[in-house]
Amino acid sequence: MSIMDNQLKQIIIFLLFFQVLIGFSQKKDSLPLNLEDYILIERGDTLTIELDEITILPKLKFKSSNDARYYYWFRSKVFKAYPYAILATERLDSINTRIKRIKKKRKKKKYIRVAQKYLEEEFTDQLKKMTRTEGRVLIKLIHRQTGETVFNNIKELRSGWKAFWYNTTANLFKLSLKTEYNPEKVNEDYLIETVLQQAFLKGELVQKPSRLDVDFSQILSQKKGQVNVEEYKRMFAKMRKKKKSKK
């Protein structure tokens, strides 16, 4: 091969290599979405990395397998009531926000009547399908989510709206709409919060912020994962006695 051929070959290789370089240079580097994600360190610096907070819940402790069955029975009640509590909270927030914006009494009354009818259509059938336990949990969860009892949530509204809640909830379940949510002192409320926190951690329920100031980590340290379902045992024992007496 002649010197001329070698030089020509080298020129062709160089041109091909240069063309590849041009091809790469046409694709621009994209800027990072957040410059704070990049940490520059120099020799002798201390490297600090912020990690996402991880919640660790203690393992639930049951006295027996029978107690575990009662707990998971109650868990299903919380799972059924929680979405309705979230929905009711959103609707109440929306109604209260809208009412505050309406200045004229006549328009306010008209809006409340429309809202009442809408909510009745949305909730009545679902509430009637709930058990007493589910209804009680729902009332407590509304307090958890709104920071106010159901009674306080509705006392400013018209009597028709009050009647809806009393007829479909209080009278149906024979429960007080003034019932509060207190997982620190009430065992059932502690169980509700335990179910919720476990479900949030596992992604089984979508967590919505509570408007009550509840330090669940402190409550957990006191309870140490102990599950007390004695009240449900007594409840079902009474139900069985009633059934036997009727026979």
Q: Where are the domains of the chain?
A: 71-233
230, 197, 182, 224: which is closest to 60 by C-alpha?
224
- Residue 118's pLDDT is 78
Low-confidence ranges of the chain (pLDDT < 50): 3-41, 47, 49
Task: List all residues 6 or more positions away from 140 whose beta carbon is below 8 Å from its beta carbon.
Answer: 179, 180, 181, 188, 189, 192
Question: Which residue bears the tokens 């020509």?
Answer: 8
pLDDT per position as a tens digit, 153-162: 776 555 555 5
pLDDT for 73 equals 95
Residue located via tokens 């407590």: 140
Q: Are 158 and 112 in contact (CB under 8 A)?
A: yes
Q: What is the pLDDT of residue 53?
A: 55
Q: What is the pLDDT of residues 120-164, one digit of tens each?
A: 777 777 777 888 899 889 989 999 999 988 777 776 555 555 555
